[in-house]
Chains A and B, each alone.
Chain A
Amino acid sequence: NAGVTQTPKFRVLKTGQSMTLLCAQDMNHEYMYWYRQDPGMGLRLIHYSVGEGTTAKGEVPDGYNVSRLKKQNFLLGLESAAPSQTSVYFCASSYGPGNEQFFGPGTRLTVL
């Protein structure tokens, strides 16, 4: 099993550009999450999904949108990128809300 995969691994954007980060998991997990990781801070939850077709806001949702059209995929979109969105983005999945989360390798995004 590949576990949790993320594409792309790196990306540089100019302010105002848009992009979509893709997360895929092959563990048949119901729950999926998008986090951002900034220096000196713990992972912060952006959005999450408790199943196909559902999404919910996390701790820092502003400036991001998500979609979960298929159970195995969770997309994170930035409609108009800002320098404050420069970060490392991690996707994770879990069987249920009280189970361990499996993380992808991350996407390093720089917004100029």
Chain B
Amino acid sequence: GESVGLHLPTLSVQEGDNSIINCAYSNSASDYFIWYKQESGKGPQFIIDIRSNMDKRQGQRVTVLLNKTVKHLSLQIAATQPGDSAVYFCAEKGYTGGFKTIFGAGTRLFVKA
């Protein structure tokens, strides 16, 4: 069935190191993928997205990689800062008789000073 999952529920990194958060998806029809950041007590906030016709997209300190062959998505955060501590969600969207967004459960990122 359709699912978006995360390999690790928590990730702990040292401040200044790079972080990599992984996500697997199962719907081959998905053509749009999004990463969200959710800080405690707040709503999800868009970080970066990528369309299925791309395999890499870069933003400010963040990079999303898409591997359609193995249905894998990753978010890389460069020089991780304490302010990056949050839960990160991946989401997939595709048209299957209607647009539907499927959200993963999230990975909690802890940044150690």
Known: A40-B105, A42-B4, A43-B103. A103 touches B44 (CB 8 A): yes
Nearest B residue to A3, CB-CB: B43
Known pairs A42-B91, A100-B34, A103-B45 / 19 extra A-B pairs, C-beta < 8 Å: A40-B105, A41-B105, A42-B4, A42-B89, A42-B102, A42-B103, A42-B104, A43-B91, A44-B103, A45-B100, A90-B44, A100-B46, A100-B49, A101-B46, A102-B46, A103-B43, A103-B44, A105-B41, A105-B43
Residues of A within 8 A of B45 (CB): 103
Interface SS, A side:
loop
Asked if A83 CB lies within 8 Å of chain B CBs, one says no
Expressed in whole angstroms, the Cα–Cα distance for A90 and B89 within the complex equals 14
Expressed in whole angstroms, the Cα–Cα distance for A27 and B44 within the complex equals 17
**Which residues of A approach B to under 8 Å, CB–CB?**
4, 40-45, 90, 92, 97-98, 100-106
Expressed in whole angstroms, the Cα–Cα distance for A66 and B109 within the complex equals 34
Expressed in whole angstroms, the Cα–Cα distance for A45 and B102 within the complex equals 9
Known: A103-B43, A105-B42. A43 touches B89 (CB 8 A): yes
Expressed in whole angstroms, the Cα–Cα distance for A94 and B41 within the complex equals 22
